[in-house]
Structure 1
């Protein structure tokens, strides 16, 4: 991820924060709940792309699934930024740890 990505995430975080009326402690809870909503939309898109709902048929494309997965990633990044201003560093460190334990050396 580029610095530009995290700059955009910070801007989205700031924009959301200025447009809410919640106590700060509730902000992170609702951002995490929003993540659950986005994951549900991704699942709905997969079901629609594969035509698994007989009532609706093929109602989504794989492009819709891609867009919903992007929404999941963005929402998770904004939630992480809400939890810590050091989101970029936290994410980079966690990604390194996952790669170290998962990828062959």
Structure 2
């Protein structure tokens, strides 16, 4: 991610704070975007028989990107550095991936012919 993305997330953190305050309710409103991703994914799959297919891949990807950006803003709203949070998350994911790479896949027992 570029520095400009993090800088914009900081600017967005400040905008709602200036307008709406910094209550826990405000933070909750910022992270509600996750539900929109679920709705878009279900709409993409046509999982609701009453509604059918209501979203495109572009809609779902846009909602996911909203969640990423809104999450960066929420992290900043909690007084933390989004760069450090993302770096820690990536390091954790890399360590887990490396651990998985050393495991024997289920059903493939060592020495089985």
The more displaced of 84-93 and 50-59 is 84-93
- Partner of residue 62, structure 1: 57
Which has the larger Rg? 2
Cα distance change, pair 16–57 in 1 and its aligned pair in 2 (3 A):
same
> Structure 1 residue 33: deviation in Å?
4.7
SS of the residue corresponding to residue 34 of structure 1 reads: helix
- Partner of residue 34, structure 1: 30
- Partner of residue 95, structure 2: 100
Please, what TM-score do these two structures have when normalized by structure 1? 0.79
The more displaced of 82-91 and 4-13 is 82-91
Please tell me whether the aligned partners of residues 46 and 53 of structure 2 are also in contact (alpha carbons under 8 angstroms): yes
> Structure 1 residue 18: deviation in Å?
1.2
Higher RCO (C-alpha 8 Å, min separation 6) = 1
Alignment root-mean-square deviation, CA: 2.1
Q: Does 1:75 align with 2:70?
A: yes
Query: Which structure 1 residue ranges, 5 or more long, are not aligned?
Result: none
Between structures 1 and 2, the one with greater helix share: 1
Please tell me whether the aligned partners of residues 9 and 70 of structure 2 are also in contact (alpha carbons under 8 angstroms): no
C-alpha distance in 1 between matches for 2:45 and 2:85: 36
Query: Which structure 2 residue ranges, 5 or more long, are not aligned?
Result: 103-113
- Number of matched pairs: 100
Cα distance change, pair 86–51 in 1 and its aligned pair in 2 (3 A):
closer
